[in-house]
């Protein structure tokens, strides 16, 4: 019997009644960095050579067993020992080796477990191989050992989706052998005794064989998304698991490196860190104000979506509308949203009624007197918003946080009508608000730091990604959007069709091209926005009135059956009547249409987006380039594998971007202007990524 002996900073061993315990302790998620890998081998060697040890049991301290390889090591020179070698040596252990898994045992963590001779899953455990989401594949035997335990179809499903499998399912699949309610250390001791007593069977996964399944492999190939680099390689590696282990592993290794060195993996890893980096704001050290009740003013699509989100986060919600009829409609929408959440598995069916019971409605703003936070979500009209905030100032309790969900308007102006501007901020949700993950947290001049922290705490509670934004017309996302959408109208006027522009950008990776999005969102929305901005439009700005002319016909897109496309049983297809308007407007402006290649469309669109994104960083509206990337990844359907507009910009480089802008500026020097920050980067060789550090 020994007490815990450190092997290094992350690994320790202990011997109890013939069981040699190895404990991994590398907070926060026990990522399998170099120290863990080296320590594991050292511990394994020590225990295999200790006569007092009959069985070795591996477990982890903290909230989870190993959650994967250390992603921060990717892209740097590899450090010995590599994880594949570690797994092979674990499997080759001369003494029986069991592992105890808890928390989220993912990626390299699961690969370590698969290399042990038996696995115990602690209640609540989820296992998965999420490498696909990082643009890579399980590179430490995961593509070879998983099918040896589960068969090919289940391995394809798990590794291509990256989904987390609950412990009960893992047991059925053969990934764990037994489930335990004990603590990981106690379960490790018990599992060791069970092996000694012959009650827990052990075997080497690598020695099992895999039944070929050409049909499943063929079906997976047919389903793989054509733009993505790693899924076909994952399938290739899994298909090789039917052969000898060493050959399959060698192929896996080669394909792993091909994927890791791809631009797509760099983009996806950037997206992973973007999701987490945005919470690192100066106000994060402040204690947020407690928010258990929320008032939502406005029961339209947006207000109802926000209320749904708050209810799903367990809050009490008071919905305010001007009339009972509107309230009833709002409650109807919220009920439907919650039923949808049940269908999608986001809410347990038996929780539907208790969740709805937390919703109260009122036509009297006085009902907001006791709530902790109010989100105003009425239509975009400054006078209406000012009136609401004047009333909130009078009604709400001291310390209540007052938020506007405006997408464009000046939060400073709204805050100024209250006697408590420090309690006011923007909380800009994206429609549908109960689904979309982005929340822009708009910080006005006088917003108190703890109010900002409250916005971030709310985002977290709602499982959203909060991004800090400064005040300007459109904040981060819509300011950039307003700018680059103009370039789509210029290309349309100059010769490209809506369909060609949409297809070119869908080919780049956007889920939907901008004209399809416009039809979905409603052409009337942009029309109203352009009318609002018309008085501010500089004389030098090129203005293409095609969208306005289409809107004037009452063709607002999907909701009216036609827009840029015609919808219905045989649709969508390009709307000939809209194309006629395009022709008329070209003729009226004396434009002879020219050819555009898909590449030119992508280049102009992306250069416009990057230019305004660069200015948003330059003006301090976004704290860092990675915040802009997060806004676009989580709110605007930017292709995740490209990492976000400014990550993508780094792959083009400042010098090339300047060259493009200067070329385009020969046609329109008002629109195409080189942001100063790009000039600086071209001069000193720096990148947007340098500003993320």
Q: Does 248 bind ligand 3H9 (CB under 6 A)?
A: no
Binding residue (CB under 6 A) for ligand 3H9 from 121, 135, 138, 643: 138
Applying CB under 6 A, which part among 127-135, 150-158, 181-189, 577-585 lies near ligand 3H9?
127-135
CB of 69 to ligand 3H9, least distance (A): 3
Binding residue (CB under 6 A) for ligand 3H9 from 68, 184, 267, 295: 68
Pairing of strands 373-376, 165-166: unpaired
| Interaction mask 276-315, ligand 3H9, x per CB under 6 A | x---------------------------------------
How far is it, in rounded angstroms, from Cα 1 to Cα 629? 54
Binding residue (CB under 6 A) for ligand 3H9 from 139, 330, 509, 644: 139
Cβ proximity to ligand 3H9, 329 vs 460, nearer residue: 460
Q: Is 102 annotated as catalytic? A: no
CB of 283 to ligand 3H9, least distance (A): 16
Cβ proximity to ligand 3H9, 110 vs 485, nearer residue: 110
Cβ proximity to ligand 3H9, 69 vs 331, nearer residue: 69
Site size toward ligand 3H9, by CB under 6 A: 23
Q: Does 140 bind ligand 3H9 (CB under 6 A)?
A: yes
Binding residue (CB under 6 A) for ligand 3H9 from 35, 41, 61, 71: 71
Cβ proximity to ligand 3H9, 145 vs 479, nearer residue: 145
Q: Does 466 bind ligand 3H9 (CB under 6 A)?
A: no
Q: Does 259 bind ligand 3H9 (CB under 6 A)?
A: no
% helix / strand / coil in the chain, to the nearest 5? 50, 15, 35
In Å, what is the CA distance from 40 to each residue of 20, 33, 44, 92, 363? 13, 11, 6, 13, 64
How far is it, in rounded angstroms, from Cα 455 to Cα 439? 9
CB of 329 to ligand 3H9, least distance (A): 36
Cβ proximity to ligand 3H9, 31 vs 609, nearer residue: 31
Cβ proximity to ligand 3H9, 265 vs 562, nearer residue: 265
Applying CB under 6 A, which part among 130-138, 198-206, 348-356, 614-622 lies near ligand 3H9?
130-138
Cβ proximity to ligand 3H9, 104 vs 318, nearer residue: 104
CB of 461 to ligand 3H9, least distance (A): 13
How many other CB atoms are found less than 10 A from the CB of residue 243? Answer: 14
Q: Does 546 bind ligand 3H9 (CB under 6 A)?
A: no
Cβ proximity to ligand 3H9, 70 vs 177, nearer residue: 70
Which letter, b or e, does each residue of 307-319 get, where b requires 16 or more Cβ atoms within 10 Å of its Cβ? bbbbbbbebbbbb
Q: Which residue is catalytic, options 337, 478, 611, 692? A: 478
Q: Find out whether 510 and 639 touch, Cβ atoms under 8 Å.
A: yes
Closest CA to 437 of 640, 165, 231: 640
* Cα–chain center distance at 643: 11
Binding residue (CB under 6 A) for ligand 3H9 from 39, 96, 130, 470: 130
Question: What residues does 226 pair with on adjacent strands?
Answer: none
CB of 446 to ligand 3H9, least distance (A): 29
Question: Phi then psi for 379, rounded to 5 degrees?
Answer: -65, 165
* Cα–chain center distance at 456: 16
Q: Does 111 bind ligand 3H9 (CB under 6 A)?
A: yes
What 3 state SS string does 181-226 have? CCCHHHHHHHHHHHHHCCCCCCCCHHHCCCCCCHHHHHHHHHHCCC
Applying CB under 6 A, which part among 128-136, 261-269, 331-339, 343-351 lies near ligand 3H9?
128-136
- Tell which positions 572-601 bind ligand 3H9, by CB under 6 A: none
Length of the chain: 693
How many other CB atoms are found less than 10 A from the CB of residue 684? Answer: 9
Q: Is 428 annotated as catalytic? A: yes
Going along 87-146, which residue ranges are E strands? 97-101, 104-106, 118-122, 126-128
Applying CB under 6 A, which part among 135-143, 209-217, 284-292, 679-687 lies near ligand 3H9?
135-143
How far is it, in rounded angstroms, from Cα 556 to Cα 526? 10
Cβ proximity to ligand 3H9, 276 vs 533, nearer residue: 276
Four-CA torsion 138, 139, 144, 148, nearest 10 degrees? -50
Q: Which residue is catalytic, options 102, 117, 428, 647? A: 428
Closest CA to 50 of 75, 20, 24, 23: 20
- Tell which positions 652-681 bind ligand 3H9, by CB under 6 A: none
CB of 142 to ligand 3H9, least distance (A): 6
In Å, what is the CA distance from 406 to each residue of 96, 116, 377, 442? 62, 54, 7, 10
Cβ proximity to ligand 3H9, 111 vs 494, nearer residue: 111
Applying CB under 6 A, which part among 70-78, 310-318, 328-336, 385-393 lies near ligand 3H9?
70-78
Cβ proximity to ligand 3H9, 111 vs 423, nearer residue: 111
How far is it, in rounded angstroms, from Cα 417 to Cα 445? 14
- Tell which positions 7-46 bind ligand 3H9, by CB under 6 A: 28-29, 31
Q: Is 440 annotated as catalytic? A: yes
Which stretches of 228-369 are DSSP H helices? Answer: 230-239, 245-260, 263-277, 301-312, 324-343, 352-356
CA angle (664, 619, 663) in 5-degree steps: 10
Cβ proximity to ligand 3H9, 27 vs 212, nearer residue: 27
Q: Is 600 annotated as catalytic? A: no
CB of 430 to ligand 3H9, least distance (A): 21
Q: Does 67 bind ligand 3H9 (CB under 6 A)?
A: yes
The helix-helix angle for 625-635 and 263-277 (nearest 10°) equals: 100
Binding residue (CB under 6 A) for ligand 3H9 from 142, 305, 474, 645: 142
CB of 216 to ligand 3H9, least distance (A): 22
How many other CB atoms are found less than 10 A from the CB of residue 671? Answer: 18
Q: Which long-range contacts (CB under 8 A, 24 or more apart) does 43-48 make?
A: 43/7, 43/11, 43/12, 43/13, 44/89, 44/90, 44/93, 44/97, 46/7, 46/13, 47/13, 47/15, 47/20, 47/22, 47/95, 48/93, 48/94, 48/95
Closest CA to 294 of 309, 310, 308: 310
CA angle (82, 88, 94) in 5-degree steps: 130
How far is it, in rounded angstroms, from Cα 41 to Cα 50? 14
Pairing of strands 5-6, 11-16: antiparallel
Q: Does 83 bind ligand 3H9 (CB under 6 A)?
A: yes
Q: Does 107 bind ligand 3H9 (CB under 6 A)?
A: yes
Q: Which residue is catalytic, options 407, 518, 575, 611? A: 407
Q: Which long-range contacts (CB under 8 A, 24 or more apart) does 531-540 make?
A: 532/380, 532/408, 533/473, 533/482, 538/670, 540/670
Cβ proximity to ligand 3H9, 67 vs 646, nearer residue: 67
Q: Which residue is catalytic, options 14, 91, 111, 440? A: 440
Q: Catalytic amino acids? A: 407, 428, 440, 478
Interface residues with ligand 3H9 (CB under 6 A) are 28-29, 31, 67-72, 83, 104, 106-108, 111, 130-131, 134, 138-140, 142, 276
């Amino acid at each position: 019997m020994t007490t815990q002996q450190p092997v290094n900073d992350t690994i320790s061993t202990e011997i109890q009644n013939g069981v040699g315990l190895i404990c991994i302790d590398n907070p926060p998620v026990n990522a399998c960095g170099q120290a863990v890998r080296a320590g594991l081998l050292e511990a394994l060697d020590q225990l295999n050579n200790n006569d007092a040890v009959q069985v070795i049991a591996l477990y982890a301290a903290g909230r989870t067993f190993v959650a994967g390889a250390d992603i921060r090591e990717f892209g740097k020179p590899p450090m010995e020992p590599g994880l594949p070698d570690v797994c092979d040596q674990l499997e080759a252990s001369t003494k029986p080796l069991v592992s105890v898994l808890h928390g989220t045992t993912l990626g390299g963590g699961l690969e370590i477990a698969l290399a042990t001779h038996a696995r115990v899953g602690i209640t609540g455990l989820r296992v998965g191989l999420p490498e696909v989401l990082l643009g890579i594949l399980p590179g430490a035997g995961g593509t070879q050992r998983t099918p040896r335990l589960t068969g090919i179809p289940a391995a394809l499903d798990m590794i291509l989706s990256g989904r987390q499998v609950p412990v009960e399912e893992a047991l059925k699949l053969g990934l764990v052998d037994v489930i335990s309610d004990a603590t990981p250390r106690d379960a490790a001791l018990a599992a060791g005794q069970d092996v000694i007593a012959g009650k827990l069977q052990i075997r080497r996964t690598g020695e099992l064989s895999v039944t070929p399944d050409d049909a499943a492999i063929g079906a997976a190939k047919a389903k793989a998304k054509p733009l993505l680099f790693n899924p076909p390689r994952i399938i290739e590696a899994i298909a090789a698991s039917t052969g000898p282990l060493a050959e399959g592993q060698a192929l896996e290794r080669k394909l792993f490196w091909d994927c890791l060195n791809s631009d797509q993996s760099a983009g996806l890893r950037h997206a992973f860190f973007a999701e987490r980096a945005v919470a690192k704001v100066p106000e994060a050290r402040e204690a947020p104000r407690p928010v258990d009740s929320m008032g939502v003013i406005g029961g339209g699509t947006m207000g109802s979506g926000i209320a749904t989100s708050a209810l799903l986060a367990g809050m009490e919600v008071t919905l305010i509308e001007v009339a009972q009829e509107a309230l009833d409609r709002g409650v109807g929408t919220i009920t439907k949203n919650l039923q949808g959440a049940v269908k999608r598995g986001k809410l347990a069916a038996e929780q539907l009624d208790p969740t709805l019971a937390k919703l109260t409605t009122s036509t009297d703003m006085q009902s907001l007197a006791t709530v902790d936070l109010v989100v105003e979500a009425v239509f975009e009209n400054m006078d209406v918003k000012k009136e609401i905030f004047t009333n909130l100032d009078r009604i709400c309790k001291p310390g209540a946080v007052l938020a506007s969900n405006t997408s464009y308007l000046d939060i400073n102006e709204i805050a100024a009508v209250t006697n408590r501007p420090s309690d006011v901020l923007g909380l800009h949700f994206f429609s549908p608000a109960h689904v979309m993950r982005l929340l822009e947290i708009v910080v006005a001049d006088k917003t108190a730091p703890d109010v900002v922290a409250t916005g971030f705490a709310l985002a977290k509670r709602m499982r959203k990604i909060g991004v800090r934004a400064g005040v300007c017309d459109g904040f981060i996302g819509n300011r950039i959007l307003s700018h680059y959408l103009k370039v789509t109208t210029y290309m349309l006027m100059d010769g490209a069709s809506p369909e060609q522009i949409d297809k070119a950008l869908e080919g780049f990776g956007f889920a939907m091209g901008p004209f399809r999005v416009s039809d979905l969102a409603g052409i009337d929305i942009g029309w109203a926005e352009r009318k609002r901005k018309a008085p501010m439009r500089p004389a030098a700005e090129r203005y293409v009135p095609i969208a306005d002319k289409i809107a004037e016909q009452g063709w607002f897109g999907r909701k009216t059956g036609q827009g840029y496309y015609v919808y219905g049983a045989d649709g969508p297809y390009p709307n000939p009547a809209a194309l006629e308007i395009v022709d008329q407007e070209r003729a009226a402006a004396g434009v002879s249409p020219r050819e555009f290649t898909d590449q030119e469309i992508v280049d102009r669109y992306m250069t416009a987006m990057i230019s305004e994104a660069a200015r948003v960083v330059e003006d301090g509206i976004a704290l860092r380039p990675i915040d802009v990337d997060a806004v676009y990844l989580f709110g605007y359907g930017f292709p995740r594998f490209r990492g976000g507009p400014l990550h993508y910009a780094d792959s083009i480089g400042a010098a090339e971007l300047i060259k493009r802008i200067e070329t385009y500026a020969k046609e329109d020097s008002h629109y195409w202007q080189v942001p100063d920050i790009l000039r600086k980067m071209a001069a000193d060789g720096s990148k947007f990524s340098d500003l993320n550090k």
